[in-house]
């Protein structure tokens, strides 16, 4: 235990030095079903360390800033920086006065499209490889329930924004071997793919570790289209599909009570049609701000489970400790029922994880962090079930200011965009 904890602290300190050298950059948010009118500056950090077995490095770190009034009053610049990845969008608010916003985005960098093969609780490094990618996208954000003339704020559940989101993106991925990729393992060809996403979202969740209040009901479709199907691996024993279609939905609520207790719960479910290893739903880990839709099961490796269909329930409850309420204790968990992507089949359809944590919030509210322990009850490790994990998540709000708790967030960094950690930490 001491050796593992010491290794974790060394890696966190090493990351801190790297982050300072990289400097700070800004990042975008889409809120109020259109372009977010408020400035945001956040630094987010999260890391999971398994105590049994060896899995892919699990962590995220990025600086995130929303800049309304960029050059012109109807422009909003969003930029986000992870250690090896940049994601940005220029939002144009109401260009035609029809409650319709547009976004022009670009993203790219190293290691974002890397793939880690995990089967039955084992990380197969000889079948894993590095992927670098670049993307250009165009988005439309349509507000479906605009406020009456003269009203400028959402005041209750009856006024929660309902938005239609349509995004078309083109992405090019380049693959290369890691130092431990097997010589006889054939990599997939570099590929150009188109992603089309359509979603309807009522409300939303701000990109905070613990939003004061949030409510969301959303449903999504994403089609992934490639030039053709292709085989790769050992003698073509796996493939990349020409088309994959994903449908998923989420219901979420988060609430701060007057006594500083906090509750957050969500249920997420999805189905994939013609999935492959790159498009299947991947569940596992405890990284709440690593994705717009984090599929968390505490105690598991990050993205350990690949599923064709799933239902996942997550919940968290925290209570203050002491009169100042700066310290808090929390319990969190996740339970999923899923059908695995063949041939990654596990004998268990139910997977459960639970964890406990101790949190601290600075007097100004700028700093908030939680360090915790989690147990993957059904995680497979060798011939046994059960795995343990320790983790830390931190947030620093440079502006340290509140906001309307009912503002929804369109998206932020993709869950894979901080894969460069693998190289930065020598993994």
- Residue 69 sits at the vertex; the CA angle it makes with 65 and 75, to the nearest 5 degrees, is 90
> Could you tell me the residue ranges of all domains in the chain?
2-147+157-424
Number of Cβ within 10 Å of residue 343's Cβ equals: 8
Residues 309 and 333: beta-carbon distance below 8 Å: no
Number of Cβ within 10 Å of residue 181's Cβ equals: 17
What is the rounded distance in angstroms from the CA atom of residue 21 to the CA atom of residue 319? 37
| pLDDT for residue 152 | 54
What is the rounded distance in angstroms from the CA atom of residue 71 to the CA atom of residue 92? 11
Residues in the chain: 427
| pLDDT for residue 51 | 96
| pLDDT for residue 403 | 44
| pLDDT for residue 234 | 97
Instruction: Reduce the DSSP state of residue 140 to 3 states and report it.
Output: strand
Residues of the chain with pLDDT under 70: 1-35, 37, 148-158, 401-427
What is the rounded distance in angstroms from the CA atom of residue 310 to the CA atom of residue 340? 9
Helix, strand, coil percentages, rounded to 5, for the chain: 5, 55, 40
Comparing CA positions, the residue from 206, 221, 346, 327 lying closest to residue 283 is: 346
Alpha helices in 24-152 (DSSP H): none
Domain 2-147+157-424 class? Answer: mainly beta
| pLDDT for residue 6 | 41
DSSP state of 398: S
Cα→Cα distances 292→206, 348, 361, Å = 10, 27, 23
What is the rounded distance in angstroms from the CA atom of residue 265 to the CA atom of residue 254? 7
pTM of the entire predicted model: 0.85
What token pair was written down for 283? 């569940």
């Amino acid at each position: 235990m001491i050796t593992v904890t010491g290794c974790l602290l060394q890696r966190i300190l090493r990351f801190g030095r790297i982050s300072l050298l990289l400097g700070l950059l800004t990042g975008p948010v889409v809120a109020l079903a259109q372009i977010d009118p408020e400035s945001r500056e956040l630094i987010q950090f999260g890391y999971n360390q398994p105590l049994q077995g060896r899995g892919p490095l699990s962590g995220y770190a990025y600086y995130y800033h929303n800049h309304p009034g960029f050059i012109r009053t109807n422009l909003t610049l969003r930029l986000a920086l992870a250690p090896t990845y940049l994601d940005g969008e220029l939002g144009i608010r109401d260009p035609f006065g029809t409650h319709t916003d547009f976004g022009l985005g670009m993203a790219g960098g190293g290691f974002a499209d890397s793939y880690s093969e995990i089967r039955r609780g084992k990380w197969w490094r000889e079948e894993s490889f590095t992927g670098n990618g670049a993307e250009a996208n165009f988005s439309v954000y349509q507000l479906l329930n605009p406020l009456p003339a003269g009203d400028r704020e959402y005041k209750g559940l009856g006024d929660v924004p309902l938005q239609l989101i349509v995004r078309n993106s083109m992405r090019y991925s380049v693959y290369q071997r890691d130092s431990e990729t097997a010589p006889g393992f054939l990599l997939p060809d570099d590929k150009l793919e188109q992603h089309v996403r359509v979603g309807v979202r009522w409300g939303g969740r701000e990109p905070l570790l613990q939003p004061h209040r949030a409510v969301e009901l959303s449903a999504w479709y994403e089609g992934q289209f490639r030039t053709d199907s292709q085989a790769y691996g050992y003698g073509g024993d796996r493939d990349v599909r020409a088309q994959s279609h994903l449908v998923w939905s989420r219901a979420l609520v988060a609430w701060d009570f007057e006594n500083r207790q906090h509750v957050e719960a969500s249920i997420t479910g999805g189905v994939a049609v013609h999935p492959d290893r790159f498009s299947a739903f991947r569940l596992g880990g405890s990284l709440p701000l690593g994705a717009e839709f984090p599929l968390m099961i505490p105690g598991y490796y990050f993205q350990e489970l690949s599923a064709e269909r799933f239902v996942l329930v997550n919940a968290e409850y925290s209570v203050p400790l002491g009169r100042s309420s700066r310290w808090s204790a929390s319990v969190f968990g996740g339970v999923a029922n899923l059908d695995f992507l063949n041939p990654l089949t596990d004998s268990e359809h139910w997977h459960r994880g639970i964890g406990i944590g101790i949190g601290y919030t600075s007097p100004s509210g700028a700093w908030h962090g939680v360090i915790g322990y989690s147990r993957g009850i059904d995680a497979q490790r060798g011939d046994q079930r059960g795995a343990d994990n320790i983790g830390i998540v931190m947030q620093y709000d440079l502006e340290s200011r509140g906001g309307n708790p009912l503002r929804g967030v369109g998206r932020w960094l993709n869950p894979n965009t901080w894969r460069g950690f693998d190289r930065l930490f020598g993994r």
